[in-house]
């Protein structure tokens, strides 16, 4: 596979997750570091997310669990909560994940996850998806 | 539901995940703090894990992702890797989770996860499941 | 003890810490996940905080130290700084805790703790206690 | 106060916490970096721990809570669990702290704290206090 | 060296890093805890930063890497990004540090570092350096 | 640049840092996940480390600072301490980095970093470099 093909595959995967304007969002986030933007498309989405071993839905469950546990990546958690909803994880399942994480990451992590989900749901209702992550 | 019924339900769920001697393991881990052992059976397993909204397989994917991202709970990560294998997460899927986490928690977290999985697989082969967590 | 009694005990303990409208705050924070709200009242306050082995004042010292060290739970740190003041930890003692933590969690954790305390003191003076945690 | 006096005061405080051979332990831990050893005696113990605003007992409760929440400083957690016992925190109180931290730092942090306490109690029984921290 | 001389040396080092009004910023940040402000000048800058073994430029590279990896000290990261630019680390080098950290701390840490740098560059252009750290 | 060329470049960079048998070490660490081994050579070393904007010496200072601050990646910290010594960071500079980090990540992080350096120095003296990271 040429690197142009990998880039194309990454863009497809990224849009599947984050919607048609995802490429513009990545470019804006990495305006100071365009190579990081390229890595996100080519390596993160074109290579990691394009592996057949896990479907996008399960990848988003993994991301939400990891980012909630870390607690240091709120913009990215919001992006992946929205992405999770886009690829078929239900709101009810996201809440179950936060309840489960109370045991392993503590109740504050749970509450902060739920607050992030509330912001994401409000933004989706207002048709202004969160744009500060990837 | 009485608290005796909740305890019974928690024990069932715990054994489903960690095998028939799981109760003895919990008791040993919490010998200094028996009430913590009771909370693990009654609250963690009897209440949290017994919710219908996520199956045990998905809960284990959540746990593995969160514990790998935290990086501070190696004994518990080993227990839940073993538990994940017990409830139908395949070795291949666990490896995909670690590959995905390289992006979000860094390559060292990935490598440490894979090293934990190697220890778990070796212990299972030797029929001595890890006992230092829950 | 029935679960209704435990709920009652939890509510009492919660109000002792966070004031008469604490229940409404918990409900608002967990509107998306009412069972998490129930766990906070029944398990966290009715079970954990109701144990006789540590008084509420010492529990709040533990909470402030842990949340400052974690650094990922600012809303909850603010709630517990306010709770600490409510149950008799003095402002001077809270500052000493932050000074002590410079050694163990680093000077940034100390400075962020002090900034949180400033916000809490300002909100209490304005009679608008912080509401984003528990 | 001269810096010699501050050093003297730091040594006293350190021995109060960690026993008569504490100075030798610090020197051994910082053999590669003797100035770090000097900072521990002069700044950490001679300045921070010598402040009148918190007694040594409360400082140890703060340390145990913070180090358990961090989860990345097991040798130091063991030293401060032993120090806590030396200055009057009871084994029962330490266990209550770990139970309380299940809520804020997660059950794995609790279990790891209890395992550390078990090692400390065993070492004290064998008259070989842990030596890898400060 | 007397403690007055050490204080003087600390102030010089602090101004070298953070500009002529740095002392006022430290005083404001530690208004509730003036002794913490004194420690920052005397110990952090008068002792640690005044050691000859690393130049200020390398110290800032260390700080930026550590604070980006921690992810819990955004105000301090902004201060040290600005300080790094003040002592000769270029914008291009800061971006390379963030790209390198994608490997070790994950892509979200990278993206959050770049967002912090953007805020710092905007504030410097508007002649209003960030003031919430040290 | 073809992906074969990038792989070649990554191997060169990896050996520059970690010695001639580095490739075998990576393969062993990623035996369960060979694609992760390929990513480490091609993406981490062939792409990230091969950028001209930072020399290998500065990259290792960044790595040591970040891994010491994280506190969750001891095997990788040992690898990069050894790598730092291989590319010209002196033992004295590494110690200065740990002293500086006492301020930002706390004294336990400093002490754990120094203990890791001691293990690395002992292993290098015994001609058995640490092999559990990358």
Q: pLDDT for E91-125, tens place per residue?
A: 999 999 999 999 999 999 999 999 999 999 999 99
Question: Is the Cβ pair A39, F51 closer than 8 Å?
Answer: no
| Residue F94 near residue F84 (C-beta atoms within 8 A) | yes
| B122 interface with F at CB cutoff 8 Å | no
Judged against a pLDDT cut of 90, whether residue E58 lies above it is answered with yes
| C69 interface with D at CB cutoff 8 Å | yes
Predicted pLDDT at E55 = 97
- Chain D residue nearest residue E40, CA to CA: D43
Predicted pLDDT at F128 = 62
Q: Is B56 left (phi over 0), alpha (psi -120 to 50) or beta?
A: alpha
- Chain F residue nearest residue E109, CA to CA: F66
Decide: helix, strand or coil at residue B108.
helix
Judged against a pLDDT cut of 60, whether residue C131 lies above it is answered with no
| B132 interface with D at CB cutoff 8 Å | yes
Q: pLDDT for B36-46, tens place per residue?
A: 999 999 999 99
| Residue D91 near residue D121 (C-beta atoms within 8 A) | yes
Question: Is the Cβ pair E33, C98 closer than 8 Å?
Answer: yes
- CA dist C116 → C31, C66, C109, F118 (Å): 25, 14, 10, 38
Q: pLDDT for B56-69, tens place per residue?
A: 999 999 999 999 99
Query: In this predicted model, which residue has the larger pLDDT, D67 or E3?
Result: D67
Q: pLDDT for F115-128, tens place per residue?
A: 999 999 999 999 86
**CA atoms of B105 and F45, how far apart (whole Å):** 18
Q: pLDDT for D100-118, tens place per residue?
A: 999 999 999 999 999 999 9
CA angle B36, B42, B44 (to 5 degrees): 75
Mean pLDDT of the residues in chain A? 94
Tell me which residue in D48, D69, D103 faces C103 most closely, judged by beta carbons.
D48
Selection from A93, A120, A114, A118 nearest residue A102 by Cα: A114
Judged against a pLDDT cut of 90, whether residue B133 lies above it is answered with no
Q: Which residue has the tokens 């809570």?
A: D65
Predicted pLDDT at F1 = 74
Decide: helix, strand or coil at residue D52.
coil
Judged against a pLDDT cut of 60, whether residue A133 lies above it is answered with no
Predicted pLDDT at D1 = 75
Judged against a pLDDT cut of 60, whether residue F134 lies above it is answered with no
Judged against a pLDDT cut of 80, whether residue C128 lies above it is answered with no
Residues of F in contact with E13 (CB under 8 A): none
**CA atoms of D26 and D34, how far apart (whole Å):** 9
| Residue E38 near residue C123 (C-beta atoms within 8 A) | no
Q: pLDDT for C39-98, tens place per residue?
A: 999 999 999 999 999 999 999 999 999 999 999 999 999 999 999 999 999 999 999 999
**CA atoms of C29 and C13, how far apart (whole Å):** 18
Question: Is the Cβ pair A75, E115 closer than 8 Å?
Answer: yes
Judged against a pLDDT cut of 60, whether residue A104 lies above it is answered with yes
Residues of D in contact with A107 (CB under 8 A): 103-104
Question: Is the Cβ pair E66, F61 closer than 8 Å?
Answer: no
Q: Report the 10 Å Cβ neighbour count for F16.
A: 15
Judged against a pLDDT cut of 70, whether residue E133 lies above it is answered with no
**Which pairs with CB-CB distance under 8 Å and at least 24 residues apart come from A19-26?**
A19/A86, A19/A129, A22/A134, A25/A131, A25/A134, A26/A134
Q: pLDDT band for A131, please (50, 70, 90 cuts).
A: low
Chain centroid, CA E30 distance in Å:
16
Which of B69, B104, B107, B113 to mutate: most F Cβ within 10 Å? B107
Q: Report the 10 Å Cβ neighbour count for E48.
A: 22
| B105 interface with E at CB cutoff 8 Å | yes
Predicted pLDDT at F3 = 85
Predicted pLDDT at E52 = 96
Chain centroid, CA B97 distance in Å:
15
- Chain F residue nearest residue B108, CA to CA: F73
Judged against a pLDDT cut of 60, whether residue E22 lies above it is answered with yes
Q: pLDDT for D57-94, tens place per residue?
A: 999 999 999 999 999 999 999 999 999 999 999 999 99
| F70 interface with A at CB cutoff 8 Å | no
Structure tokens at D28: 């051994």
Mean pLDDT of A122-129: 84
* For helices D107-125 and D56-70, angle between their N-to-C axes, nearest 10 degrees: 130
Structure tokens at D128: 């070989």
**CA atoms of D29 and A62, how far apart (whole Å):** 40
Query: In this predicted model, which residue has the larger pLDDT, C115 or F132?
Result: C115
- Give buried/exposed letters for A27-58 (b at 16+ CB in 10 A, else e): eebbebbeebbbbbbbbbbbbbbeeebbebeb
Residues of B in contact with C37 (CB under 8 A): none
**CA atoms of B66 and B88, how far apart (whole Å):** 18
Mean pLDDT of the residues in chain C? 94
| F59 interface with E at CB cutoff 8 Å | yes
Q: Report the 10 Å Cβ neighbour count for F14.
A: 22
Structure tokens at A20: 């048609």
Q: pLDDT for F64-95, tens place per residue?
A: 999 999 999 999 999 999 999 999 999 999 99
Q: Please, which residues have CB within 8 angstroms of residue F113's CB and are 6 or more apart in sequence?
A: F64, F68, F77, F97, F98, F101
- The domains located in chain F, with CATH, are 1-53 (no CATH), 54-129 (1.20.1290.10)
Selection from D69, D132, D104 nearest residue B72 by Cα: D69
- Chain E residue nearest residue A26, CA to CA: E111
Predicted pLDDT at C130 = 54
**CA atoms of B92 and E57, how far apart (whole Å):** 45
Residues of C in contact with D65 (CB under 8 A): 61-63, 65-66, 69
Predicted pLDDT at A127 = 80
Query: In this predicted model, which residue has the larger pLDDT, F127 or A79?
Result: A79
**CA atoms of F49 and F42, how far apart (whole Å):** 10
CA angle F88, F93, F98 (to 5 degrees): 130
Question: Is the Cβ pair C100, D54 closer than 8 Å?
Answer: yes
Judged against a pLDDT cut of 70, whether residue C132 lies above it is answered with no
Judged against a pLDDT cut of 60, whether residue D132 lies above it is answered with no
Neighbouring chains of D at 3+ CB pairs under 8 Å are A, B, C, E, F
Which of D65, D106, D108 to mutate: most A Cβ within 10 Å? D106
Report pTM.
Answer: 0.95
Q: pLDDT band for F9, please (50, 70, 90 cuts).
A: very high
| Residue A61 near residue B62 (C-beta atoms within 8 A) | yes
Question: Is the Cβ pair C105, F104 closer than 8 Å?
Answer: no
Which of C47, C88, C103, C134 to mutate: most D Cβ within 10 Å? C103
Predicted pLDDT at D43 = 97
Q: Please, which residues have CB within 8 angstroms of residue C25's CB and are 6 or more apart in sequence?
A: C18, C131, C134
Mean pLDDT of the residues in chain E? 94
Which of D111, D112, D117, D125 to mutate: most B Cβ within 10 Å? D111
What is residue F44's DSSP assignment?
I
Q: pLDDT for D17-29, tens place per residue?
A: 999 999 999 999 9
Q: Report the 10 Å Cβ neighbour count for A127.
A: 6
| C62 interface with A at CB cutoff 8 Å | no
Q: pLDDT band for E2, please (50, 70, 90 cuts).
A: confident
pLDDT > 70 in chain A, percent = 95
Tell me which residue in F31, F40, F132 faces B107 most closely, judged by beta carbons.
F40
pLDDT > 90 in chain E, percent = 90
Selection from D9, F73, C102 nearest residue E48 by Cα: C102
Predicted pLDDT at E134 = 57
Mean pLDDT of B13-30: 93
Selection from B11, B10, B75, B80 nearest residue B48 by Cα: B10
**CA atoms of E61 and E64, how far apart (whole Å):** 5
Judged against a pLDDT cut of 80, whether residue E12 lies above it is answered with yes
Predicted pLDDT at C1 = 75
Q: Is D5 left (phi over 0), alpha (psi -120 to 50) or beta?
A: alpha
DSSP-based helix, strand, coil % in chain B, nearest 5: 75, 0, 25
**CA atoms of B97 and B65, how far apart (whole Å):** 7
Mean pLDDT of B85-103: 98
Q: pLDDT for A3-29, tens place per residue?
A: 899 999 999 999 999 999 999 999 999
Question: Is the Cβ pair E48, F103 closer than 8 Å?
Answer: yes
| Residue D102 near residue C49 (C-beta atoms within 8 A) | no
Q: Is B129 left (phi over 0), alpha (psi -120 to 50) or beta?
A: beta
pLDDT > 90 in chain F, percent = 90
- Chain F residue nearest residue B106, CA to CA: F73
| Residue C37 near residue C29 (C-beta atoms within 8 A) | yes
Q: Report the 10 Å Cβ neighbour count for E29.
A: 22
Predicted pLDDT at B63 = 98
Question: Is the Cβ pair A107, D104 closer than 8 Å?
Answer: yes
Which of B72, B75, B108 to mutate: most D Cβ within 10 Å? B72
| Residue A74 near residue A117 (C-beta atoms within 8 A) | no
Q: pLDDT band for A35, please (50, 70, 90 cuts).
A: very high
| C5 interface with B at CB cutoff 8 Å | no
Q: CA torsion sign, A98 to A53 to E112 to F69? A: positive
Q: pLDDT band for C129, please (50, 70, 90 cuts).
A: low
Helix H, strand E, coil C: the string for A15-47 is HHHHCCCHHHHHHHHCCCCHHHHHHHHHHHHHH
Structure tokens at B41: 């059976």
């Amino acid at each position: 596979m040429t690197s142009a093909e990998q880039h194309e595959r990454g863009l497809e995967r990224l849009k599947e997750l984050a919607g048609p304007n995802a490429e513009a969002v990545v470019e804006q986030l990495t305006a100071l570091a365009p190579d990081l933007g390229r890595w996100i498309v080519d390596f993160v989405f074109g290579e990691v997310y394009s592996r057949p071993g896990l479907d996008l839905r399960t990848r988003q469950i993994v991301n939400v669990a990891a980012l909630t546990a870390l607690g240091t990546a709120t913009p990215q958690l919001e992006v992946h909560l929205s992405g999770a909803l886009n690829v078929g994880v239900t709101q009810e399942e996201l809440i179950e994940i936060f309840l489960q994480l109370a045991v392993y990451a503590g109740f504050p992590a749970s509450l902060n996850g739920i607050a992030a989900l509330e912001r994401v749901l409000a933004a989706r209702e207002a048709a202004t998806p969160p744009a500060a992550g990837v």
